């Protein structure tokens, strides 16, 4: 589709992957003399402090072009990850969101947010937005962005009066927060894989279930305390192993993670453990609730295979459509990892071809043209608006007025007898129409075959046969498809269940099973015979089946109903493939283990609270467990 070769050597995939997951600050600090020399030759660097309205001073670097013959836009990036390299004569390898913008000769401004690295003040994770009615002197990330822009406009010369903000992941949150009650000069906001709600989704939780391996690995390094401004934080403790599954299982219940390297030392870890439900602490940090009448244009971008912040892009897109319909906006989702579209080409992901260098396509056809059009009125590069979304399975881009596409029609895929999945409702009545398995928290189902301590970033398309073969995983398969089936939009499961315990988790995965004779999709790639490609997982905890803000125990042995959200999918199950559904009760250590005995605060559970439980999934006429799939017809 893009006029370039899609094939890469299978042996090079690990190296290519490692280059895509570098965070913004690591990429700028990487030693690349020729790249540093190019930046130095084109820009002059200044380091200074910018005062906020409450008197707090934020450390900022400003790169102005040596050629001052034209008035140019300003690009602002605010981050908690540090704006290294520090030092007036220390230059980075890259300035903007992607290298294609560095040669534009614009003004680039980078800032340590309050309480991080060289900036003054106190750092707050997901700072609550105070809104336009905030009291005088009250600050949040919106006011800090506003004050920074105001100072730059008054104190930096040769700008054209237009500002764009950009950032990926946590910096993406600061972009989203800064576009609320925005400065009039802010014309374009580029929140890339933004954090939007840390309880419902993104890095820390998945529908309230704690993302154990990812959060522990991040917090032990990121949230170490400081006594004042610094240019680097101390490294967290080394676990001494790459086997995260065994290490976390060896620690035991969540209550045993402290005192130690986190509890009592890493403040936000402690905050998480005293706010298990979706209470005011978390709801005040749900930025999507405040996305109203946004004045800058918004380029919102995310990746289908983002294991860190897959929720934020979807929730922010939904809020923009519902609460800020007048905002000029474009939504782009591609076959990418976390922020990888900003710097890597992604002709493949894991074992699968993407049909071309999709990252380069985004930067060349969407990213750079959008910045030039909205900040310089140079609109030769194409149109801005709507939704441009990559359809996995067929490996093609599709353009819609908005996402999800309005033409998708919801159909129920039912869990049937003999491990079948059908679009026909069950015809068997009675409680005997059910399947059972024993869930043992002492032997949880791993989320990946990979051996990793942090998080296997390749798991979003990983072969699920390792889970299909476990006795504590129910497997339902469709017949071989006689035509393509395209799922486009949010997927959820409605499960009718019972447990011999008083609390339970339910994990639902939708999977694309390839034919027995499936060949590799690119040169050097693996054969895909009967490969069970993960399409989307979802998890839910029974205690929140009546509402996320309160925990309610199950009645042991009593049938109940719960919804399991799987978030959005754009995937075509090709003719000759099968649709497969997994149901299980552990997914470790992607999420924490449920004791399966109700404990009011699950973080306070002890090892003695954990118990085996028999789970029942009903599939009768009265209790038809099923998935709701938005099907897009040709």
Q: Is the pLDDT of residue 25 over 50?
A: no
Rounded distance, CA 238 to CA 247, Å?
12
Per residue in 344-390, pLDDT (tens digit) is 999 999 999 999 999 999 999 999 999 999 999 999 877 899 999 99
What pLDDT score was predicted for residue 263? 62
Evaluate the CA torsion angle 446, 448, 453, 456 in order and state its sign. Answer: negative
> What does the block give as tokens for 310?
């897959």
| pLDDT at residue 235, rounded to an integer | 80
pLDDT in tens, 291-341: 999 999 999 999 999 999 999 999 999 999 999 999 999 999 999 999 999
Position 261 confidence tier, pLDDT thresholds 50, 70, 90: low
**Continuous H helices in 284-407:** 310-323, 358-362, 368-376
| 257 — pLDDT class (breaks 50, 70, 90) | confident
Nearest Cα residue to 293 out of 258, 268, 248, 329: 329
* Residue-averaged pLDDT of the chain: 92
pLDDT digits (tens, 9 = 90+) for 595-620: 999 999 999 999 999 999 999 999 99
Residue-wise pLDDT for 507-556, tens only, equals 999 999 999 999 999 999 999 999 999 999 999 999 999 999 999 999 99
Do the Cβ atoms of 535 and 580 come closer than 8 Å? no
Yes or no: say if 30 and 93 are a contact pair by the CB < 8 Å rule: yes
What b-and-e string marks burial along 194-227, b requiring 16 or more CB atoms within 10 Å of the CB? Answer: bbbbbbbbbbbbbbbbbbbbbbbbbbbebbeeee
Q: What whole-number percentage of the chain has pLDDT above 90?
A: 85
> Would residue 356 be called left, alpha or beta, if left means φ above 0 and alpha means ψ between -120 and 50 degrees?
left
Can you tell me the mean pLDDT for 268-295?
A: 95
Q: Give the closest residue to 532 by CA, choosing from 516, 552, 508.
A: 516
Q: In the chain, what are the domains? A: 14-197+285-400 (3.40.50.1820), 409-632 (2.60.120.260)
pLDDT of residue 291: 97
pLDDT tens-digit readout, 437-489 = 999 999 999 999 988 998 899 999 999 999 999 999 999 999 999 999 999 99
pLDDT in tens, 399-442: 999 999 999 999 999 999 999 999 999 999 988 999 999 999 99
């Amino acid at each position: 589709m893009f006029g370039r070769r899609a094939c890469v050597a299978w042996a090079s995939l690990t190296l290519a992957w490692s280059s895509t997951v570098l965070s913004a600050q690591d990429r700028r600090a990487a030693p690349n003399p020729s790249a540093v020399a190019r930046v130095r030759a084109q820009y002059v660097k200044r380091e200074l402090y910018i005062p906020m309205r409450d008197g707090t001073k934020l450390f900022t670097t400003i790169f102005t072009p040596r050629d001052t013959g034209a008035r140019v836009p300003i690009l602002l990036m605010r981050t908690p990850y540090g704006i290294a390299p520090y030092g007036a004569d220390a230059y980075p390898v890259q300035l903007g969101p992607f290298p294609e913008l560095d040669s534009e000769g614009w003004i680039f401004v980078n800032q340590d947010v309050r309480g991080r690295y060289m900036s003054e003040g106190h750092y707050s994770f997901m700072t609550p937005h105070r809104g336009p009615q905030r009291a005088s002197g009250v600050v949040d990330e919106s006011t800090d962005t506003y004050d920074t822009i105001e100072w730059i406009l008054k104190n930096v010369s040769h700008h054209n009066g237009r500002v764009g903000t950009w950032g990926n992941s946590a910096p993406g949150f600061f972009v989203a927060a800064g576009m609320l009650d925005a400065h009039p000069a802010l014309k374009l906001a580029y929140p890339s894989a933004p954090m939007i709600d840390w309880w419902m989704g993104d890095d820390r939780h998945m529908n309230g279930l704690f993302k154990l391996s990812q959060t522990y690995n991040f917090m032990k390094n990121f949230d170490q305390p400081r006594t004042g401004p610094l240019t680097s934080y101390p490294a967290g403790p080394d676990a001494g192993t790459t086997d995260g599954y065994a290490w976390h299982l060896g620690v035991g219940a969540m209550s045993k993670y402290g005192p130690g390297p986190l509890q009592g030392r890493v403040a936000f870890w402690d905050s998480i453990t005293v706010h298990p439900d979706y209470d005011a602490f978390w709801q005040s940090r749900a930025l999507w609730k405040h996305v109203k009448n946004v004045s800058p244009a918004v380029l919102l971008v995310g990746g289908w295979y983002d294991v860190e912040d897959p929720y934020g892009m979807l929730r922010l897109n939904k809020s923009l459509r519902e609460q800020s319909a007048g905002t000029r906006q474009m939504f782009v989702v591609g076959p990418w990892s976390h922020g990888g579209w900003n710097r890597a080409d992604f002709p493949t992901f894991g074992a699968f071809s993407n049909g071309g260098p999709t990252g380069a396509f985004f930067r060349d056809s969407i990213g750079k043209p959008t910045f030039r059009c909205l900040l310089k009125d140079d609109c030769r590069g194409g149109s801005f608006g709507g939704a441009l979304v990559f359809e996995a399975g067929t490996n093609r881009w599709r353009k819609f007025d908005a996402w999800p596409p309005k033409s998708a029609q919801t159909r129920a895929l039912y869990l049937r007898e003999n491990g079948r999945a059908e679009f026909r409702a069950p015809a068997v009545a009675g409680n005997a129409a059910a399947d059972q398995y024993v869930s043992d928290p002492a032997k949880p189902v791993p989320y990946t075959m990979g051996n990793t301590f942090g998080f296997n970033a390749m798991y979003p398309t990983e072969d699920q046969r390792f889970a299909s073969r476990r006795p504590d995983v129910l497997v339902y398969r469709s017949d071989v498809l006689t035509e393509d089936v395209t799922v486009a939009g949010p997927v959820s499961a409605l499960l009718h269940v019972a447990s011999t315990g008083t609390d339970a988790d339910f994990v639902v995965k939708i999977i694309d099973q390839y034919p027995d004779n499936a060949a590799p999709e690119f040169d050097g790639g693996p054969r895909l015979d009967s490969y069970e490609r993960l399409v989307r997982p979802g998890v839910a905890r029974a205690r929140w089946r009546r509402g996320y803000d309160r925990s309610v125990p199950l009645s042991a042995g009593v049938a109940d109903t719960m919804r399991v959200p799987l978030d959005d999918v754009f995937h075509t199950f090709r003719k000759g493939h099968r649709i497969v559904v997994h149901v299980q009760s552990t997914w470790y250590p992607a999420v924490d283990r449920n004791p399966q005995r109700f404990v009011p605060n699950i973080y306070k559970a002890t090892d003695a609270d954990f118990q085996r439980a028999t789970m029942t999934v009903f599939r009768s006429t009265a209790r038809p467990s099923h998935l709701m799939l938005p099907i897009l017809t040709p």
